[in-house]
A and B are shown apart, each in its own frame.
Chain A
Amino acid sequence: MPKLAERGIGMDAQKKLLERKELFDNAIAFKRNKRVPMLSNFFTWKIYDAGYTAKEAIYDYAVMEDVVRQFIERYQFDAYFDLGTRNPMRVTNAFGAGRHYIDEENDTVLVDDHTILLRDEYSEYITGKNEWYWSKGFKRTAKPGLTIGELKNAVQEFLVFGQFSEKMSSMLSSEYGALRTASGYAMVPFENLFLTLRGMREASLDLRKSKAEIKECMDFMFETESLPMLEQSLALESNDTAADISCAFLGHSVLNTSQFEEFYWPYLKAIIDKASAAHKTIFIMCEATMLRFAEFFEDVPKGVLFVQLEQDDVFEFRKRLPNIAFTGGMPTNLLGFGTPEECIEYAKRLIGELGDGYAFGTDKMMSYRNDAKRENLIAVCDFVREYQI
């Protein structure tokens, strides 16, 4: 990646980027900061806050750009997880399918658990992955009778979406001097099965019914997909991101400890070890709890992981895993139903007790209208931005 000036980023935005990057570098390394950095985990909430419906914003990139600009300008976080690109439904709808949909009555985006890869197709995936994707995976996903014209339109939508994503990333750094979460990506194979190919229910059942098959497939995925992706990610510059590599941590939520040890941890540990050896940082997007598997993370070197926590008690987390920096902790029910004063008091407690190794953030992905009130979020963001540690 070219240096900031070579990418046409002005001096003011460069200065902000460098300051913000230093805040996150320090937080991840548990070094003292002059203030706590702020990471936005706001997704569809910002659509409602900007005065639009989910349908209006998701299908119109000009509207979505307005949503993101309003959000950045109003709250001024230092880093952003989502830039209006979480739900590429224009692409998936173009080939007549997609499993995400808008519940217009409740104005929210939903996804149903789904299965694309059948239990007896693991070996087929291993021996002819691209063939499986085309002749089975995509066939099951596309609407019946999909025409070449419709497919061409879907590919064009795919390209337009890519351009929109690049535009939003560029806008964030060059106009606002703010960071994305990470430049690279790492994938634990179980996540790919859990989230997409097998689905939550079926992937869980496979761990009991088809242990050998799912393990063989995950080994194959790790060698042929995860590791090459990781190697590419490790080579990237990260001068406009909070961390180097992002990694989803979602599927662990259905595993018991012995399953985690056998089917999940070996791959995640290999990713952590490689990143650590390369002096790179990993942003882990954790849903549910991580503390249930705390023993596995005890020996991770300080300064490698930066975790978005959800259901864990952040104060307990700090005591149990003092080697892992994190963001989160600001209660959604307080932002949604409390007063600005109550929100500021709680933010003060978070910063006071967590301090080094902490970035301010919310205790979950902000998706629903009632997750926060505007006046509460403005008050707490203004406070955190000015509060000296």
Chain B
Amino acid sequence: MDDNMHINDSDEVDFSYPEGFEKAAKSLDFLPDDETRRQILLALVTGMAMQ
């Protein structure tokens, strides 16, 4: 996705894959880098969210 795309907190989460997933991961700007953002988001949605 475009690195310069602006993501607003009020945007609804897009559940398309991989575009929506990448956009959601990119929004996690408090994490250090894109790979960490993807890994943490994936850990959440494949693990704890399924409980």
User: Which residues of A are in contact with B by a Cβ distance under 8 Å?
Assistant: 88, 91-92, 95, 97-100, 116, 128-131, 133-139, 141-142, 145-152, 154-156, 158-159, 161, 196-197
**List of B residues within 8 angstroms of A196 by Cβ:** 50-51
Closest to B21 in A: A134
**List of B residues within 8 angstroms of A161 by Cβ:** 48
**List of B residues within 8 angstroms of A150 by Cβ:** 13
Contact present for B27 and A135 (CB under 8 Å): no
**List of B residues within 8 angstroms of A159 by Cβ:** 40
**Given A130-B42, A131-B17, A134-B21: A92 and B48 interface contact (C-beta under 8 Å):** yes
Contact present for A135 and B17 (CB under 8 Å): yes
Contact present for A133 and B42 (CB under 8 Å): yes
Contact present for A134 and B12 (CB under 8 Å): no
Q: How far is the CA of A100 from the CA of B50 in the complex (A)?
A: 11
Contact present for B50 and A149 (CB under 8 Å): no
Contact present for B40 and A155 (CB under 8 Å): yes
CB distance from B28 to the nearest CB of A (A): 6
Contact present for A88 and B15 (CB under 8 Å): no
**List of A residues within 8 angstroms of B48 by Cβ:** 88, 91-92, 158, 161
- Candidates B8, B17, B20, B49; contact of A141 at CB < 8 Å: B49
Contact present for A138 and B15 (CB under 8 Å): yes
Q: How far is the CA of A134 from the CA of B17 in the complex (A)?
A: 7
**List of A residues within 8 angstroms of B18 by Cβ:** 131
Contact present for A137 and B11 (CB under 8 Å): no
Q: How far is the CA of A250 from the CA of B45 in the complex (A)?
A: 23
CB distance from A229 to the nearest CB of B (A): 11
**List of B residues within 8 angstroms of A97 by Cβ:** 49
Per the CB 8 Å criterion, the residue count for chain B at the interface is 30
Q: How far is the CA of A146 from the CA of B49 in the complex (A)?
A: 14
What is the number of contacts between chain A and chain B, taking CB atoms within 8 Å?
91
**Given A92-B49, A135-B20: A147 and B11 interface contact (C-beta under 8 Å):** yes
| A–B pairs, 18, beta carbons within 8 Å | A92-B48, A95-B49, A98-B51, A133-B46, A133-B50, A135-B15, A137-B50, A138-B15, A141-B49, A142-B13, A142-B49, A147-B9, A148-B7, A149-B10, A151-B27, A152-B9, A158-B48, A196-B50
Contact present for B42 and A158 (CB under 8 Å): no
Contact present for A148 and B49 (CB under 8 Å): no
Q: How far is the CA of A91 from the CA of B41 in the complex (A)?
A: 13
CB distance from B30 to the nearest CB of A (A): 7
**Given A137-B50, A158-B48, A196-B50: A147 and B15 interface contact (C-beta under 8 Å):** no
Q: How far is the CA of A128 from the CA of B16 in the complex (A)?
A: 13
- List 6 tightest A-B contacts by C-beta distance, closest first: A149-B9, A138-B45, A131-B17, A139-B15, A196-B50, A134-B21
Closest to B10 in A: A147
**List of B residues within 8 angstroms of A133 by Cβ:** 42, 45-46, 50
Contact present for A146 and B51 (CB under 8 Å): no
Q: How far is the CA of A321 from the CA of B1 in the complex (A)?
A: 58
CB distance from A144 to the nearest CB of B (A): 9
**List of A residues within 8 angstroms of B13 by Cβ:** 142, 146-148, 150-151
Q: How far is the CA of A235 from the CA of B5 in the complex (A)?
A: 42
CB distance from A145 to the nearest CB of B (A): 6
**Given A131-B18, A138-B15, A147-B13: A152 and B49 interface contact (C-beta under 8 Å):** no
